[in-house]
Chains A and B, each alone.
Chain A
Amino acid sequence: MSVSIEVRGLSRTFHTTVRRPGLAGALRSLVNPERAVKHAVSDVTFSVAAGELLALLGPNGAGKSTTIKMLTGILTPTSGEARVAGVVPYRERERNARNIGAVFGQRTQLWWDLPVRESFAILRDIYEVPKAEHTARLKEFDDILDLSAFWDTRVRHLSLGQRVRCDLAAALLHDPPVVFLDEPTIGMDVVVKEQVREFLRHQVEERGRTVLLTTHDMTEVERLAERVVLINHGRLVLDGTLDEIRRKFGSTWQVRATLADAHTEVAALPGIAVLRQDGPQVVFGPDGPDAPTVHQALKQVIERYEVSGVAIDEADLEDVMRTAYVQAGAV
């Protein structure tokens, strides 16, 4: 498979003005501003294959949006390199623009005072999309996103869910091979979210688009992404599958077993510790970095002991990510 997005050693530093507190401080800042340096993204390297959906994860302020801005050509990196569909985005912004579509959260690119379809028409002409192709694609988008119900409404009168669906369509109208979505489903209800997910799946699986997505919705990640890249404090923490993340940060499972014979001597198994024992009730947990997954642990427990009942508690992805963000932050 060919590589669609390639990022190597990407870094971005910002210089900001520090405001001093108090009225006197404000006056001093007026005359003599104090500068500070912030490393938004430091030495990030990853790549995305063509036709792959990658979720870029990290807590607020981790550097996700800055990364996306560099890949869309809006921001020039301080150092490092990036290529999107073979183009260096910040060097050839306009050429890159034809290859990509982007939605930035709740920021709309639609024309506020005009019916949505007029915005589509303007974009069609800006991107020079042939009329027949435009009509066909709009029809395709409408089938999944139900746009026609409100596309003659002026944007200012749309609900958030309607507007974001229109923005998604607007970003994909010119058939870009690469799509950047910065928290596209933020603030949307479950029905619309599901609609958007289906749309994205369709665009990746049927149309072969490459999608780079940032989100805080872990259900979304589970449903859409096979691979995730986790960044925190501007640094890459992990690049792998969801399972790998679970294994690394999700070691919070517990196996609660009820022994058939309450007098059995219970000992730790390789990578599995005994957390508590109360008569026949025993609680096993992971031990060390090489702890097995919860399913392997369950198998070992059942093989080793005679149990009359068993239950497992597995941390869901939200918990895993919480652990990941906190641990990665502490590093």
Chain B
Amino acid sequence: MHAVRIMWRVTCLNFRAQMEYRSEFLLMIAIGAIWQVSVIVFATVLLTRFTGMGGWDSSDVLLIPATRMLAHGLFVLFLGRMHGLGRHIQEGRIDIYLVRPMPVHRQVQLQYFPTNAIGDLTVAAGLMVGALARSDLDWTAGRITYLIVAILGGLLLEAALFTVVASASLRFPAADYWGIWLEELLGTFGSYPLNVLPRAVGGFLTFGLPLAFVAYFPAAVLTGHDTAVPYWLAAASPLLGVLAYLGSRLLWRWSLRHYAGVNG
């Protein structure tokens, strides 16, 4: 209870801190608006140009970016501070966190308020509404539950990937570079049916960088499309997200124990 109260208070403070920088705060809101228009334009552009992409109807395909973006928006809101942590580590912030009586991970998450997440989530929700409206599927309680679970799983999987990068940043300052790339990959390749890609490339995005489990597999399960992996594996995507996240938190704890400090 105490922890929740502290988190709430710090979050309120962070929100105020965001408003201290007037132009920055207003710009962040503007970002939401720009993002909104352009992402929807972008998603619809490709979907209308390339109908029947990978054997998917455009109404089905829309479910992939919608799931991905909603998961991403929630990630930014709740756990997004893991991304770009390397810079703070280089500035010695972790050393400060380590001497405070609160878990380091929680302090990292309470660093600042993600104003832009509001924009992200608005777009994502809009896209999801659009996708559901165009969908011909029968939205039973089971399907809806699975969709919600899949979104949460996607959130955790994305969080897991960034937590791994953050753990690496504790030791290698250059790891931040991989975080930037990871975000780019998730953004660009997370929104397509991956069966349009050659098998080897699709395999890489499934088993190398498990991007397929964020939105593609859950959407395939919902719409009844075949994927390159067995049905049970695709269906277990949310569970994998949970496992990956737990694993990444263990890695984070291990890395923190082996944290040797930064120079300067």
Contact = CB atoms under 8 A, between A and B. Distances in A.
Judged by CB atoms under 8 Å, the answer to whether A and B touch is yes
Contacts of A159: 263
Interface in A7-41: 19, 23, 26-27, 29-30, 33
Interface stretch (B15-23, B79-87, B130-138, B243-251): B15-23
Interface residues of B, number: 9
Q: Determine chain B's interface SS by DSSP, over half rule.
A: helix
A131 interface: no
Contacts of B15: 23
B25 A30 contact: yes
B19 A26 contact: yes
Nearest to A31: B22
Contacts of A163: 264
A156 interface: yes
Contact of B20 (A26, A158, A160): A26
A27 B26 CA distance: 12
B12 A23 contact: yes
Contacts of B19: 26-27, 29-30
B113 to A, nearest CB: 12
A207 interface: no
B68 to A, nearest CB: 34
Contacts of B16: 23, 26
B263 A30 contact: no
Q: Determine chain A's interface SS by DSSP, over half rule.
A: helix
Contacts of A30: 19, 22, 25
A110 to B, nearest CB: 11
Nearest to B262: A156
B25 A156 contact: no
B20 A156 contact: no
A156 B22 contact: no
A76 to B, nearest CB: 25
A26, A27, A163, most chain B CB atoms within 10 A: A26
Interface in B13-64: 15-16, 19-20, 22, 25
Nearest first, the 5 closest Cβ-Cβ pairs linking A and B are: A26-B16, A26-B19, A30-B19, A30-B22, A157-B263
22 contacts: A19-B20, A23-B12, A23-B15, A23-B16, A26-B16, A26-B19, A26-B20, A27-B19, A29-B19, A29-B20, A30-B19, A30-B22, A30-B25, A33-B22, A156-B263, A156-B264, A157-B263, A158-B263, A158-B264, A159-B263, A160-B264, A163-B264
Interface of A: 19, 23, 26-27, 29-30, 33, 156-160, 163
Given A26-B16, A26-B20, 7 more contacts: A23-B15, A27-B19, A30-B22, A33-B22, A158-B263, A158-B264, A159-B263
